[in-house]
Protein backbone atom coordinates (compact mmCIF):
# COMPACT_ATOMS: atom_id res chain seq x y z
CA UNK A 1 0.00 0.00 0.00
CA UNK A 2 3.04 2.25 0.25
CA UNK A 3 2.54 5.31 -1.92
CA UNK A 4 -1.16 4.66 -2.58
CA UNK A 5 -3.80 7.31 -1.98
CA UNK A 6 -6.98 6.02 -0.36
CA UNK A 7 -10.16 8.10 -0.03
CA UNK A 8 -12.46 6.84 2.76
CA UNK A 9 -15.92 8.12 3.62
CA UNK A 10 -17.08 7.33 7.13
CA UNK A 11 -13.50 6.89 8.26
CA UNK A 12 -13.84 8.45 11.71
CA UNK A 13 -15.42 5.45 13.46
CA UNK A 14 -16.15 1.75 13.12
CA UNK A 15 -15.02 -0.19 10.06
CA UNK A 16 -13.88 2.96 8.27
CA UNK A 17 -11.60 4.10 11.06
CA UNK A 18 -10.10 0.63 11.52
CA UNK A 19 -9.47 0.44 7.76
CA UNK A 20 -7.95 3.95 7.68
CA UNK A 21 -5.50 3.21 10.50
CA UNK A 22 -4.56 -0.23 9.12
CA UNK A 23 -3.99 1.13 5.60
CA UNK A 24 -1.99 4.07 6.94
CA UNK A 25 0.25 1.68 8.88
CA UNK A 26 0.83 -0.14 5.57
CA UNK A 27 2.08 3.10 4.03
CA UNK A 28 -1.04 4.44 2.32
CA UNK A 29 -1.89 8.13 2.38
CA UNK A 30 -5.42 8.48 3.73
CA UNK A 31 -7.88 11.14 2.58
CA UNK A 32 -10.83 11.13 4.97
CA UNK A 33 -14.30 12.47 4.33
CA UNK A 34 -15.84 13.36 7.68
CA UNK A 35 -19.01 15.10 8.81
CA UNK A 36 -17.90 16.10 12.30
CA UNK A 37 -14.84 18.36 12.63
CA UNK A 38 -13.74 17.16 16.07
CA UNK A 39 -13.99 13.49 15.08
CA UNK A 40 -12.28 14.17 11.75
CA UNK A 41 -9.43 16.02 13.41
CA UNK A 42 -9.08 13.30 16.09
CA UNK A 43 -8.89 10.55 13.46
CA UNK A 44 -6.42 12.58 11.43
CA UNK A 45 -4.22 12.91 14.55
CA UNK A 46 -4.43 9.12 15.09
CA UNK A 47 -3.37 8.57 11.47
CA UNK A 48 -0.39 10.90 11.90
CA UNK A 49 0.56 9.06 15.12
CA UNK A 50 0.29 5.61 13.53
CA UNK A 51 1.94 6.55 10.25
CA UNK A 52 4.10 9.65 10.74
CA UNK A 53 5.58 11.40 7.75
CA UNK A 54 2.61 10.78 5.46
CA UNK A 55 0.47 13.75 4.43
CA UNK A 56 -2.93 12.38 5.44
CA UNK A 57 -5.81 14.81 5.06
CA UNK A 58 -9.47 15.31 5.90
CA UNK A 59 -12.30 16.99 3.99
CA UNK A 60 -15.54 17.87 5.73
CA UNK A 61 -18.97 17.31 4.24
CA UNK A 62 -22.49 16.34 5.22
CA UNK A 63 -23.09 13.30 3.02
CA UNK A 64 -26.84 13.59 3.58
CA UNK A 65 -26.90 16.53 1.17
CA UNK A 66 -26.44 16.11 -2.59
CA UNK A 67 -24.72 19.50 -2.94
CA UNK A 68 -22.22 18.54 -0.23
CA UNK A 69 -21.57 15.15 -1.84
CA UNK A 70 -20.82 16.85 -5.15
CA UNK A 71 -18.77 19.61 -3.53
CA UNK A 72 -16.50 17.32 -1.55
CA UNK A 73 -15.98 14.96 -4.50
CA UNK A 74 -14.99 17.92 -6.70
CA UNK A 75 -12.76 19.29 -3.94
CA UNK A 76 -10.96 15.96 -3.55
CA UNK A 77 -10.63 15.48 -7.32
CA UNK A 78 -9.10 18.96 -7.64
CA UNK A 79 -6.72 18.42 -4.71
CA UNK A 80 -5.51 14.88 -5.42
CA UNK A 81 -3.30 14.10 -8.40
CA UNK A 82 -4.20 10.43 -8.08
CA UNK A 83 -6.67 8.23 -6.23
CA UNK A 84 -5.80 4.56 -6.07
CA UNK A 85 -8.66 3.39 -3.87
CA UNK A 86 -12.07 4.81 -3.02
CA UNK A 87 -13.75 3.23 -0.01
CA UNK A 88 -17.40 4.26 0.24
CA UNK A 89 -18.13 3.40 3.84
CA UNK A 90 -20.24 6.16 5.42
CA UNK A 91 -23.58 4.83 6.58
CA UNK A 92 -26.13 4.68 9.33
CA UNK A 93 -29.43 3.19 10.41
CA UNK A 94 -31.98 5.89 11.26
CA UNK A 95 -34.80 5.02 13.66
CA UNK A 96 -37.34 7.45 12.23
CA UNK A 97 -38.21 8.37 8.67
CA UNK A 98 -36.78 11.78 7.89
CA UNK A 99 -36.19 13.54 4.61
CA UNK A 100 -33.11 15.46 3.59
CA UNK A 101 -33.38 18.94 2.11
CA UNK A 102 -33.24 17.17 -1.29
CA UNK A 103 -36.35 15.14 -0.43
CA UNK A 104 -34.45 11.87 0.03
CA UNK A 105 -35.06 9.53 2.95
CA UNK A 106 -31.99 9.74 5.24
CA UNK A 107 -30.95 6.07 4.99
CA UNK A 108 -31.20 6.04 1.19
CA UNK A 109 -29.36 9.36 0.90
CA UNK A 110 -26.40 8.48 3.12
CA UNK A 111 -26.07 4.75 2.56
CA UNK A 112 -26.62 4.72 -1.20
CA UNK A 113 -26.71 8.11 -2.90
CA UNK A 114 -23.47 9.24 -1.23
CA UNK A 115 -21.71 6.18 -2.69
CA UNK A 116 -23.14 6.88 -6.12
CA UNK A 117 -22.34 10.60 -6.15
CA UNK A 118 -18.84 10.23 -4.64
CA UNK A 119 -17.97 7.52 -7.16
CA UNK A 120 -19.24 9.60 -10.07
CA UNK A 121 -17.33 12.64 -8.85
CA UNK A 122 -14.05 10.75 -8.45
CA UNK A 123 -14.40 8.44 -11.46
CA UNK A 124 -12.10 10.37 -13.79
CA UNK A 125 -9.37 10.63 -11.14
CA UNK A 126 -9.64 6.86 -10.51
CA UNK A 127 -9.48 6.11 -14.25
CA UNK A 128 -6.39 8.30 -14.63
CA UNK A 129 -4.72 6.52 -11.69
CA UNK A 130 -5.45 2.95 -12.81
CA UNK A 131 -5.15 0.31 -11.77
CA UNK A 132 -7.54 1.52 -9.12
CA UNK A 133 -10.21 0.04 -6.89
CA UNK A 134 -13.64 1.04 -5.57
CA UNK A 135 -14.81 -0.70 -2.41
CA UNK A 136 -18.38 -0.25 -1.17
CA UNK A 137 -19.32 -1.29 2.35
CA UNK A 138 -22.54 -3.27 2.03
CA UNK A 139 -24.08 -5.63 4.57
CA UNK A 140 -25.70 -9.03 4.89
CA UNK A 141 -28.73 -6.96 5.93
CA UNK A 142 -29.54 -6.92 2.21
CA UNK A 143 -30.78 -10.50 2.51
CA UNK A 144 -34.53 -10.52 2.19
CA UNK A 145 -34.59 -6.89 1.03
CA UNK A 146 -36.47 -5.93 -2.11
CA UNK A 147 -36.61 -2.74 -4.11
CA UNK A 148 -39.96 -1.07 -4.58
CA UNK A 149 -39.28 1.46 -7.33
CA UNK A 150 -42.59 3.13 -6.55
CA UNK A 151 -41.47 3.71 -2.95
CA UNK A 152 -37.66 4.04 -2.85
CA UNK A 153 -38.03 6.79 -0.25
CA UNK A 154 -40.11 4.57 2.09
CA UNK A 155 -43.02 7.03 2.09
CA UNK A 156 -45.70 4.32 2.10
CA UNK A 157 -44.16 2.25 4.85
CA UNK A 158 -41.04 2.87 6.91
CA UNK A 159 -39.20 0.46 9.15
CA UNK A 160 -35.62 1.34 10.01
CA UNK A 161 -34.22 -2.14 9.37
CA UNK A 162 -36.16 -2.45 6.11
CA UNK A 163 -34.81 0.90 4.85
CA UNK A 164 -31.28 -0.10 5.89
CA UNK A 165 -31.52 -3.50 4.17
CA UNK A 166 -32.86 -1.84 1.02
CA UNK A 167 -29.97 0.66 1.01
CA UNK A 168 -27.47 -2.19 1.35
CA UNK A 169 -29.14 -4.05 -1.52
CA UNK A 170 -28.73 -0.85 -3.54
CA UNK A 171 -25.00 -0.87 -2.66
CA UNK A 172 -24.61 -4.42 -3.97
CA UNK A 173 -26.57 -3.81 -7.17
CA UNK A 174 -24.67 -0.56 -7.75
CA UNK A 175 -21.33 -2.36 -7.26
CA UNK A 176 -22.26 -5.15 -9.66
CA UNK A 177 -23.28 -2.69 -12.36
CA UNK A 178 -20.21 -0.55 -11.70
CA UNK A 179 -17.97 -3.62 -12.08
CA UNK A 180 -19.69 -4.46 -15.36
CA UNK A 181 -19.35 -0.93 -16.73
CA UNK A 182 -15.74 -0.54 -15.60
CA UNK A 183 -14.59 -3.92 -16.94
CA UNK A 184 -11.39 -3.43 -18.89
CA UNK A 185 -10.76 0.13 -17.64
CA UNK A 186 -8.25 -0.75 -14.94
CA UNK A 187 -10.73 -0.11 -12.12
CA UNK A 188 -12.21 -2.94 -10.11
CA UNK A 189 -15.32 -2.55 -7.98
CA UNK A 190 -16.10 -4.73 -4.98
CA UNK A 191 -18.41 -4.65 -2.00
CA UNK A 192 -18.19 -6.35 1.37
CA UNK A 193 -20.12 -7.32 4.48
Q: For the chain, first and last CA: distance in Å?
A: 22
- What pLDDT digit, counting tens, does each position of 44-81 carry? 999 999 888 899 999 999 999 999 999 999 999 999 99
- Residue 139 Cα distances to 5, 27, 111, 166, 167, angstroms: 25, 28, 11, 10, 9
Is 164 among the residues known to form the active site? yes
Whole-structure pTM value: 0.93
User: What was the pLDDT predicted at 147?
Assistant: 79
Dmax over CA atoms of the chain, in Å, equals: 52
Residue 190 in 3-state DSSP? strand
Catalytic residue among 164, 166, 168, 170: 164
Share of the chain above pLDDT 70, in %: 99
Residue 128 in 3-state DSSP? helix
- What pLDDT digit, counting tens, does each position of 133-160 carry? 999 999 866 788 777 888 888 899 899 9
Q: Report the distance separating Cα 26 and Cα 50, nearest Å.
A: 10
Amino acid sequence: MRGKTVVITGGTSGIGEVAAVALAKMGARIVLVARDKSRGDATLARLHDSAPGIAHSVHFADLLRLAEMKRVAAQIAAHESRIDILINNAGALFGKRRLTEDGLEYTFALNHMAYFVMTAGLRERLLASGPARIINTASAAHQGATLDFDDLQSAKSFRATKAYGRSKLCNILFTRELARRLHGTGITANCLH
